[in-house]
Amino acid sequence: MKRILAAVAATLLCASGGAAFAPPGVDQALVESDAMPPKLSAFGLFRGNDPGQPSTGVAYTLRAPLFSDYTEKHRFIAIPAGKKARVGSDGVIDFPVGTVLVKSFGWNDVGGGRPVETRLLIHRASGWVALPYIWDADGKDATLALGGRRVPVTFKSPDGETHSIRYAVPNKNQCKECHSLNGEIVPIGPKARNFILDPAASDAVRARYFENPAALKPTMPIWDDPKAGSVADRARAYLDVNCAHCHNPAGSASNSGLFLRWTDDPGGVNYGIGKRPTAAGRGSGGMDFAIAPGDPAHSFMIYRLESIDPGIAMPEVGRSTVHKEGAALLRQWIAEMPRGASN
Amino acid sequence: MRFNGFHAAALGVLAVLGASPAAAKTISVSATTPDANEKLQEALILAEPGDIVQLGAGVWTLTDGLSLDVAGVTVRGAGAGEGGSILDFTGQQGAGEGLLVTSDDVLLTNFAVLNTKGDGIKSKGADRIVYHQLRVEWTAGPKETNGAYGIYPVESTDVLVDSVYVRGASDAGIYVGQSKNIIVRDSIATENVAGIEIENSYNADVHDNIATKNTGGILVFDLPSLPMQGGHNVRVFENIVNDNSTPNFAPKGNIVASVPTGTGVLVMANRNVEIFDNVFADNGTANVMIVGYRYEHKDPNYQPLPRAIVVRGNQHGKAGYAPKFPGGDMIAAAMGGAIPPVLWDGSGDAVVLDKVGVLSLNLPDVKTPQSEAKPAPADLSKGTPPAALPAITLPESMEAKVK
């Protein structure tokens, strides 16, 4: 992460220092075309095509990130010159056409920490487009993988356990399954409530990328910092980011009636409290309720989070390992609910 | 333009051309191409409206679910039986279904989907979808570890399921949920928990199907706390609904886990459902069951009673000889070994014009526990049936696809 921040800082320094050393930048015409170039390098998003050196943009992190098999994610936003993002009154960030959200996924102990894949979310005149690129074996470029791919990797999770999995790079449609609102692609993570712009970014940089940077006030707690919020609030932040992109009335799981946004009523049946399974199949695990207050062992939300069987596991895409720490937080949250709270 | 055994370079060229307009084309993909899973998925992504994605004959060994998000595409195989295009998901590692369709005006025809870990084929928000001559099957037969739904359109307007075969679903073989304007016809559902289920939906015709050897043959349900509810206007007619005798193998907790083995047609908490001109036989619990939603719920907008249910003109073979609801065996014994072929919990209202007996459990309030049932014969033939429902018509563009 530090490396990226340094690189971004250097880039900005460069840009402000004068045009003479302006790096070869983003091919904005390509970004805004309908093309799906077979090589990531075509966009010019990285200097020397080094995934650690964005050629433009500003880095960001999230208070609660989507779990993706313990990958480290490096994110930045590229916004074309003369344009800015705007934070709406509802906290949704409106990015101008020409914006690219760049997210690289990897593990520190796999391939020397180089990313395995880089996903682009590009805002074109026709809407957002999601493109997945997998880094080539020689690490010099990444290749478009519209159909997705499984990549065998072995890594250690933070608790020291070794995992050997066939990591799933999502296909273009799967990108949309998560990034879907009313059938259109939208960004998930960058909402004011969850968004941390690079703390090293100066006020000038913030003002370069945002019309109203003061509106970037995150309200969700950092999900895994006990000092940042109550167990319930951190669990809700976790659910918002890991589930609510589908589990909202306009998302891919709208028909489930299970809605898990930060803004949803956490006491309601539609939040899972005393909610019977809908179209869950084996996902019910023989249990009656998504959340049985006080009883995580009989809450099939936990059962689904702790499974990697595709007929059971939630989320349905993007996960081949169990997120033990996330599941533990939700277990604690449910265990601390008064029993019978649904009645 | 043929994709058969194409190379990455060719794909790259196509990818750059991207959305440039082109005449409708057929994209053929072979089952034996290396990385067939990825290549087929790429074809489904690169298809443009009007295109046909042609699945080669043979067994496709697939590890990841497929998806289609382009409107107006046809996915066509070489057949749903042996020697056809068989999408085998026995080794599936990811995705909640075998094939997911999220675009409008799609035709799926002439292929099979086997042994998915979750649902077979799901379409969501896919208006005017046509499922035609497909087979979705869990080949080991009824098992709790089978996926939930075989054919699963949801949140769609104008749905046609025509001439499909579904076997082994641990929930419903053909399940239409939260949709409007639906026809399910000429299909076979066997050895599923529910053969065919219409749930939280409006305006459906279910006709000329065979529902046999399921736990329950045809279900018309409405459930609370869902975005679309208030199911109504469903016609179930001219079906063969027989020998639905497979012990319930649904994972507990799911609503269909409560369906008694031996159920023919089950209506729960809908209004204006017509059940007519069907052939019923050998359903050990009942040929027709009409009940309210008797679980606790907290949805003030939910209507738990069956209302304006009409049963007429059906042929009733043997039924009621092995009623699998609590206390059913005792009632049957008291009635000489079998209960009447129509079973009503006593809630809501129904008109039964068939010349067969009706057993009421006399539980008009759905909050009353079933243990307080006072079973007794009931005469439901005196009521006046509401005006007959009109037939469902689908857009001509859909019917043209199956002609």
Q: Chain centroid to CA B1: how far?
A: 36
Query: Does one domain contain both A41 and A179?
Result: yes
Structural domain boundaries enclosing A269: 226-335
Chain A residues lying within 8 Å of B138, measured CB to CB: none
* Chain B closest-CA separation from residue A273 CA (Å): 11
Per-residue pLDDT at A239 exceeds 90: yes
**Contact (CB, 8 A) for A132 and A144:** yes
- Cβ distance of A279 and B65 shorter than 8 Å: no
* Chain A closest-CA separation from residue B71 CA (Å): 12
Among B152, B223, B295, the residue with its CB nearest the CB of A278 is B223
Query: pLDDT digit string (tens) for B42-74?
Result: 999 999 999 999 999 999 999 999 999 999 999
* Predicted-complex ipTM score: 0.83
Of the two residues A340 and A50, the one the predictor is more confident about is: A50
- Cβ distance of B251 and A284 shorter than 8 Å: yes
Mean pLDDT for A250-254 is 90
Q: Is residue A23 part of a domain?
A: yes
Select from B339, B364, B336, B328 the least CA-distant residue to B349. B364
Residue B193 and residue B147: Cα distance in Å, rounded? 11
Q: What letter represents residue B131's amino acid? A: Y
CA-to-CA dists, residue B229 to A246, A271, A277, B308, angstroms: 20, 18, 16, 17
Read out DSSP for B314-350?
-EE-SB-SS--STTHHHHHHHTTS---SEEE-S-S-E
Between strands B94-101 and B64-68, the pairing is parallel
Query: Does one domain contain both A123 and A162?
Result: yes
- Cβ distance of A172 and B299 shorter than 8 Å: no
Select from A64, A108, A67 the least CA-distant residue to A320. A67
Q: Does A27 touch chain B (CB under 8 A)?
A: no
Long-range contacts of A114-120 (CB under 8 A, 24+ apart): A114/A51, A114/A139, A115/A51, A115/A74, A116/A71, A116/A151, A116/A153, A116/A167, A116/A169, A117/A142, A117/A145, A117/A151, A117/A169, A118/A40, A118/A51, A118/A142, A119/A170, A119/A175, A120/A40, A120/A43, A120/A45
Query: Does one domain contain both A197 and A63?
Result: yes
Query: Does one domain contain both A309 and A268?
Result: yes
Q: Does B315 touch chain A (CB under 8 A)?
A: no
Per-residue pLDDT at A342 exceeds 80: no
Mean pLDDT of all residues belonging to chain A: 89
**Contact (CB, 8 A) for A167 and A320:** yes
Chain B, 239 to 278: residues with Cβ < 8 Å from chain A are 251-255
Q: Is residue B131 part of a domain?
A: no
- Cβ distance of B225 and A275 shorter than 8 Å: yes
Of the two residues B357 and B12, the one the predictor is more confident about is: B357
pLDDT of residue B383: 87
- Residues facing B242 on adjacent strands: B212, B281
Of the two residues B83 and A182, the one the predictor is more confident about is: B83
Hunting for tokens 């107006």 — which residue is that? Answer: B72
Q: Is residue B191 part of a domain?
A: yes
Q: Does B118 touch chain A (CB under 8 A)?
A: yes
Per the structure, the count of domains in chain A is: 2
Hunting for tokens 């098992």 — which residue is that? Answer: B143
Q: Is residue A300 part of a domain?
A: yes
A307 HSE (CA, 13 A, CB side): 22
User: Of the candidates A162, A195, A215, which is a domain's last residue?
Assistant: A215
Per the structure, the count of domains in chain B is: 1
pLDDT of residue A24: 64
Chain A residues lying within 8 Å of B67, measured CB to CB: 171, 173-174, 177
- Residue of chain A minimizing CA distance to B68: A173
Structural domain boundaries enclosing B215: 138-388
Helix (H, G, I), strand (E, B) or coil at B374: coil
Chain A residues lying within 8 Å of B117, measured CB to CB: 309-311
Among B12, B100, B147, the residue with its CB nearest the CB of A281 is B147
pLDDT of residue B200: 97
Query: Does one domain contain both A38 and A142?
Result: yes
Chain B residues lying within 8 Å of A166, measured CB to CB: 93
**Which residues, including other chains, have CB under 8 Å from residue B396's CB and lie 6 or more apart?**
none
Query: Does one domain contain both A179 and A211?
Result: yes
- Cβ distance of B45 and A177 shorter than 8 Å: no
Query: pLDDT digit string (tens) for B285-311?
Result: 999 999 999 998 889 999 999 999 999
Query: pLDDT digit string (tens) for B361-397?
Result: 999 999 999 899 999 999 999 989 999 999 999 999 9
- Cβ distance of B16 and A317 shorter than 8 Å: no
pLDDT of residue B17: 40
Per-residue pLDDT at B39 exceeds 60: yes
Residue B345 and residue B361: Cα distance in Å, rounded? 5
* CA dihedral sign, ordered B75, B234, B293, B170: negative
Polymer length of chain A:
343
Mean pLDDT for B147-156 is 97
Q: Is residue B105 part of a domain?
A: no
- Cβ distance of B15 and A274 shorter than 8 Å: no
Q: Is residue A194 part of a domain?
A: yes
pLDDT of residue B207: 98
Query: pLDDT digit string (tens) for B154-206?
Result: 999 999 999 999 999 999 999 999 999 999 999 999 999 999 999 999 999 99
**Which residues, including other chains, have CB under 8 Å from residue B137's CB and lie 6 or more apart?**
B112, B113, B114, B115, B150, B165, B166, B167, B168
User: Of the candidates A173, A196, A215, which is a domain's last residue?
Assistant: A215
Query: Does one domain contain both A271 and A241?
Result: yes
Q: Categorize the per-residue pLDDT at A107 as very low, low, confident or very high, splitting at 50, 70 and 90.
A: very high
Residue B365 and residue B368: Cα distance in Å, rounded? 6
pLDDT of residue A186: 85
Chain B, 285 to 304: residues with Cβ < 8 Å from chain A are 295-299
pLDDT of residue B4: 37
Q: Does B62 touch chain A (CB under 8 A)?
A: no
pLDDT of residue B9: 37
- Cβ distance of B18 and A35 shorter than 8 Å: yes
Q: Is residue A221 part of a domain?
A: no
What's the pTM?
A: 0.89
Per-residue pLDDT at A4 exceeds 60: no
- Residue of chain A minimizing CA distance to B222: A278
Read out DSSP for A277-295?
PSS-GGGGTT-SBSB-TT-
Q: Categorize the per-residue pLDDT at B14 as very low, low, confident or very high, splitting at 50, 70 and 90.
A: very low
- Cβ distance of A150 and B64 shorter than 8 Å: yes
Q: Is residue A342 part of a domain?
A: no
Q: Is residue B116 part of a domain?
A: no
Q: Is residue B360 part of a domain?
A: yes
* CA dihedral sign, ordered B198, B201, B206, B209: negative
Scored b (16 or more CB within 10 A) or e, A69-104 reads: bbbbbbbbbbbbeeebbebeeebbbebeebbbbbbb
Chain B residues lying within 8 Å of A280, measured CB to CB: 148, 251, 253-254
Across A36-174, the runs of DSSP E, i.e. the strands, are 58-62, 72-78, 86-87, 93-94, 100-106, 117-124, 127-135, 142-144, 149-156, 162-169
Three-state secondary structure readout of B53-94: EEECCEEEECCEEEEECCCCCEEECCCCCCCCEEEECCCCCE
Mean pLDDT for B247-266 is 94
**Which residues, including other chains, have CB under 8 Å from residue B362's CB and lie 6 or more apart?**
B346, B373, B374, B375, B376
Query: Does one domain contain both A188 and A234?
Result: no
* Chain A closest-CA separation from residue B62 CA (Å): 12
Chain B, 67 to 96: residues with Cβ < 8 Å from chain A are 67-69, 92-96
Q: Does B368 touch chain A (CB under 8 A)?
A: no
- State the Rg of chain B over Cα: 22
* Chain B closest-CA separation from residue A287 CA (Å): 5
Q: Does B148 touch chain A (CB under 8 A)?
A: yes
Q: Does A252 touch chain B (CB under 8 A)?
A: yes
CB contacts < 8 A, A to B, total 168
The H-or-E segment that residue B175 falls in is strand B172-177
Query: Does one domain contain both A198 and A231?
Result: no
Per-residue pLDDT at A7 exceeds 50: no
Both tokens of A311, joined, read 């007929």
Among B8, B92, B177, the residue with its CB nearest the CB of A279 is B177
Among A148, A277, A311, the residue with its CB nearest the CB of B254 is A277
Query: pLDDT digit string (tens) for B205-238?
Result: 999 999 999 999 999 999 999 999 999 999 999 9
Query: pLDDT digit string (tens) for A184-220?
Result: 888 887 889 899 999 999 999 999 999 999 999 888 9
Chain A residues lying within 8 Å of B15, measured CB to CB: 35-38, 144, 146
Residue B288 and residue B311: Cα distance in Å, rounded? 8
Query: Does one domain contain both A61 and A197?
Result: yes
**Contact (CB, 8 A) for A323 and A315:** no
Q: What letter represents residue B199's amino acid? A: E
Q: Chain centroid to CA B223: how far?
A: 16
Q: Is residue A343 part of a domain?
A: no
Q: Categorize the per-residue pLDDT at B3 as very low, low, confident or very high, splitting at 50, 70 and 90.
A: very low
Query: pLDDT digit string (tens) for B300-355?
Result: 999 999 999 999 999 999 999 999 999 999 999 999 999 999 999 999 999 999 99
Q: Is residue A109 part of a domain?
A: yes
- State the Rg of chain A over Cα: 20
B299 HSE (CA, 13 A, CB side): 24
Per-residue pLDDT at A8 exceeds 60: no
Residue B381 and residue B334: Cα distance in Å, rounded? 24
Q: Is residue A341 part of a domain?
A: no
Mean pLDDT for B140-151 is 96
User: Of the candidates A168, A185, A215, which is a domain's last residue?
Assistant: A215
Cis ω before A315 (30° cut-off from 0): yes
Mean pLDDT for A9-17 is 43
Query: Does one domain contain both A184 and A60?
Result: yes
Select from A58, A62, A64, A30 the least CA-distant residue to A44. A30
Across A148-276, the runs of DSSP E, i.e. the strands, are 149-156, 162-169, 180-181, 184-185, 195-197
Number of H helices, E strands in chain A: 7, 13
- Residue of chain B minimizing CA distance to A257: B226
Query: Does one domain contain both A203 and A270?
Result: no
pLDDT of residue A191: 87
Q: What letter represents residue A173's amino acid? A: N
